[in-house]
Structure 1
Amino acid sequence: MKPYQKVPIEECGEPMIAILPDLFAVVSPHPYQVLGAPYGEQSPYFLRQRVVTQLLAAQEALQQDYPGWRLQIFDAYRPVAVQQFMVDQTLADLARSQGLTVAALTPDQQQTLREQVYTFWAPPSLDPTMPPPHSTGAALDLTLVDGTGQVVDMGSPIDECSPRSYPDYFQISDRPLERQYHHHRQLLARVMIAAGFQRHPQEWWHFSWGDQLWAWLSQQSGTPVTSAHYGRYELIHGN
């Protein structure tokens, strides 16, 4: 169990709405769908209604200082089946990077690699008291695009399972390019946090509003949040 999963959930029943591509930049085709993730008829480009409202506020703040820039959505809603698929995919990729296969891993190797996976991926739990953040419709992975439509370089790709993904990895670097990476990460965090989001401690790209992780991080910063607003989406709608 991760610390944030102890936060109680008081589901508010708020609906999911589409992330409109004319308002935000989106990665298309969706990277997990390309891999074969089992979304079925569900779309990854959905979030809870209040989360989309907060996201618009973040983009407006960004454009005040950087006209023409936009938030680019990499991933948002993620059914638990997709979470399981991506955890398995990431484990296989890590094993392959070491010249191994999942089937041939020793118990110690399996444990080591799974610990690495779960540093960046939430467990694909079906327990209603500890849903994966993305399965609530409250969490999203995103980056920035500039006024020309080019993706802003953050120094590491989304979903990289390495310390380079930690938000402050480049903070103490004296290399100008790496200092720029840190500046871009801080810019993303500044506009998102100003809009009420919280950032994942190990992922520069992951932000949420209203889920257990958001509530727990809010508590750590001294904000009197007692519960999460959103639980697992499928439980409400039977999807």
Structure 2
Amino acid sequence: MSLLEVRGLNSYYGDSHILFDVGLHVEKNEVVALLGRNGAGKSTTLKSLMGVVTPRTGSVVLDGVELAGRKSHAIARAGMQLVHEERRIFASLSVEENLVLASLTAPDRWPLERVYAMFPRLKERRESRGTDLSGGEQQMLAIGRALIRQPKIVLLDEPFEGLAPVIVRDLVDACRELAAAGQTIVLVEQNLAATLALADRVYILNNGHIVHEGSAEAIRRSPDIVERHLGV
């Protein structure tokens, strides 16, 4: 059994049908990317896995445990963490307070120093409030807050969006380090080069349907696939 197995996922916003029988699997220690044009359903897929959006039908099994229909806090306790596109850090709390608060209800947790070793900038800014951080620092904090809970799988929604190239490079390096250490990751990202540098496998969504599955290497060698499914 895969670490994550998703079958027949159908999600709606009101009466609007957004995901159509989405199915995917993620193996332990694997990095899987979800690609697609804007509005394809990528972020909705992550939110449906995490319970932010409740799927009407379908199955989400993490490490043998069915999660579909559970509340987000219960899914988090089961070992899944979503790093939202908008980061959602506590602006009035310090970096360290954000991290400690996230760790309080975790069954297992990373020590603070492990987070700081991965993101040395956070250690430098440990007493700074969320409102005083740059966009890149906020993204580091959002990822660090997820990791401190020692999750089985991390869902990253547009982690590189709007960041300077040097910050993207540092975050890609951190994600590579995570993957090398065995962290399972599902990544949604518009930066195709950064995504394909990280991912082992890729799913492409179009209008809420999975239209392609393959290795990241195959995508890199097949510009026709990129043009057909991702071209503007």
Does the alignment reach a TM-score above 0.5?
no
Bin of the TM-score, shorter chain as denominator length: under 0.3
Normalising by structure 2, report the TM-score: 0.27
The normalised TM-score by structure 1 is 0.26
Question: Which structure: greater helix fraction?
Answer: 1
